[in-house]
Chains A and B, each alone.
Chain A
Amino acid sequence: MSSRGPRLLEWRLGTVAELVQETPRVASLVLDVPDWQGHLAGQHVDVRLTADDGYQAQRSYSIASAPEDPRLAITVERLDDGEVSPYLVGEVRKGDKVELRGPIGGYFVWRATDARPLLLVAGGSGIVPLMAMLRHRAAAHSTTPTRLLYSSRSLDDVIYRAELERLASASDGVTVTHTLTRMQPPGWKGYARRIDRAMLAEVCWPKDQMPITYICGPTPMVEGAATLLVDMAFDPASIKTERFGATGGSS
C-alpha cells in the first residue's frame, strides 16, 4: 500500500566496481549505483539477495562512503553462520550486481555544517557509519574538532587503519585513539582494555564545550559507553547511538 510520504525508496541495482579487503573478515563493496539520490553520513541501505528459485533475504548495512563520493561503499563483516554476509564477503566479485535501496534513517546522521565538537565512539564494525562521517568531514574541508575512540579486538581487526592514520596526521583537528581489547602487538603503548569511565574521561570533550557524540557497535559496548557518558552528566539528547544485534550471529 502506498501512503503519504515524499518519495518511495525503490530497489536499485548497483554494480560492484571495487572490492577492498579491509581485514581478514571485513570487506568493502564499492558500488556504482545509477541515479543514486545521495545520502547523509550515518545512514544505511537495505541489501536484498535473490536466489534462482525466488528465495530472498534482506539485511541493512551502514554506508561507509562520504555523501560527496560518486560511488556508494558499504563495509561488511563476514559472520560465518550468517546468511547474507558470507555472500557479500567471499562470493561477490567485481562486476556483480547487488540490489539495494536507501538511504534510510534520519537520526544517526552528521552534517559537516554542525560546528559542535564531535566525539565518535566505535566498537568493531561499528566504525562504518562513523567513517562516513569522517570522510564527509574531510571532503567538506570541515575543521570541526573531532575525536574518535575505536575499540577493536586486535590491530589486525582495525578497519580502515591506514586511512584513519592519514586522517589523524592531516593536522586539521582529528585525533584517533585505539584500544585493543584482546591482543596487542609488541611494544603497544595504547589502551588495551574495554572502554571504561577513565578512558572516556581522557578522550571525551569537556561537557562545557557542548559536544555531540555518536556511538556505534555491539549492544553491550554501546550501552556501556552511553550510560557512562550520561553518568558523567553529558546531556542524553546529545548522545546518538546505533547498536548491532547482541550476538550478530544472524546477519
Chain B
Amino acid sequence: MSFISRGFRGKRRDVAAAGRVPPGQYVVDDFPVLSAGPTPRIPVAEWNFVVEGEIDEPKKWTWDEFRKLSTEQVTKDIHCVTKWTKLDTAWTGVSVDTILEGVDTAAEYIVAFSYGGYTTNLPLEDVTGGKAWVAFEFDGQPLHPEHGGPARLLVPHLYFWKSAKWVRGLRLVNENQPGFWESNGYHMYGDPWREQRYWGD
C-alpha cells in the first residue's frame, strides 16, 4: 500500500468484530434496503415456490404446503456489496437441502428467480450442504416486503444480492448464466472475503 489519505484517521471497529468483517465492509446496526425497483407485494394466498429446469419432475408448493416443511433457525452475518455488514441476523426458513430433497439432477448451477423479475445465479454447491435457506422470518417476525417477504433466499456466505428477495423458485441449469446484477457490472460469484464485488474482481 502506497497511498495515504492525508489527515484520515477513521473510526476503528472493536477487535472482537474485526475478524467477522470482510475487507472494505463496515458494520451497521440498522437494516438498509436496496432494490432496483418498486417493492412487489405478494399475498401468501397467491404465493408459490417452484423448482424447475434440469429436473425430471418439477416441484411446486403453495404457501401452506411450504410452511409444512421442516424449518431451521439460523443466526448469520450478512454482507452487502454496497459495503454494509450486519452481524448476528436471526432468520427462520426452510433449508434448500430440504427443498431439493429427492431431486436427482446433473445441473451444476441454479438461477434463483423472483416476483418482480429479479434473478441471480449461483453454483448448486453453494446452496446445498447447509449453506442456504428460503427464509420467511427475520428476528422472529414475518419478513417485511421491503426485505423480501413473504420469502427470500438466504445465502449468507456470499454478497447479499445473491440472497434474492421475493424469491419464487430455483431453476436448475447446466451453465452459469448471469442474473440481474451479474449482467449489470457485478461479480458472477460474489465472495465477500475475496472482495468479489464487480466484473474482473
Contact = CB atoms under 8 A, between A and B. Distances in A.
Interface of A: 1-9, 13, 46, 48-52, 54-60, 83, 87, 91, 96-99, 104-108, 219, 223, 226-227, 229-230, 236-237, 239-241, 243-247, 249-250
Contacts of A250: 26-28, 84
B32 A51 contact: no
A7 B5 contact: no
Interface string B129-151: 00000000000000000100000
Nearest to B189: A3
A34 to B, nearest CB: 14
A223 B188 CA distance: 28
A3 B200 contact: yes
A243 B34 contact: yes
A97 B3 CA distance: 9
A243 B37 CA distance: 10
A215 B1 CA distance: 38
Given A57-B10, A105-B184, A241 B84 contact: no
A226 B201 contact: no
B24 interface: yes
Interface of B: 1, 3-12, 23-24, 26-28, 30-40, 82-84, 116-117, 146, 180-181, 183-185, 187-189, 191, 194, 196-201
Contact of A51 (B8, B28, B39): B8
A34 B24 CA distance: 24
A131 B31 CA distance: 27
B162 to A, nearest CB: 15
B85 to A, nearest CB: 10
A227 B40 CA distance: 9
A1 B194 contact: yes
A91 B39 contact: no
A249 B189 CA distance: 29
Nearest to A95: B6
B9 A51 contact: yes
B10 A83 contact: yes
Contacts of A236: 37-38, 40, 116
B185 A223 contact: no
Given A9-B200, A250-B84, A226 B10 contact: no
A19 to B, nearest CB: 14
B193 to A, nearest CB: 11
Interchain residue pairs A-B with the least CB separation, the first 10 = A5-B199, A8-B200, A106-B184, A226-B38, A245-B32, A5-B200, A49-B5, A58-B24, A83-B11, A49-B8
A3 B196 contact: yes
Given A60-B83, A219-B32, A7 B199 contact: yes
Given A56-B24, A99-B3, A236-B116, A223 B39 contact: yes
Contacts of A99: 3, 5
A229 B12 CA distance: 42
B67 to A, nearest CB: 26
Given A6-B200, A245-B28, A107 B36 contact: yes
A53 B26 CA distance: 18
Given A87-B7, A241-B37, A246-B31, 16 more contacts: A5-B188, A5-B200, A56-B10, A57-B8, A58-B83, A59-B83, A97-B6, A106-B183, A226-B39, A236-B116, A239-B37, A245-B28, A245-B32, A246-B32, A247-B30, A250-B27
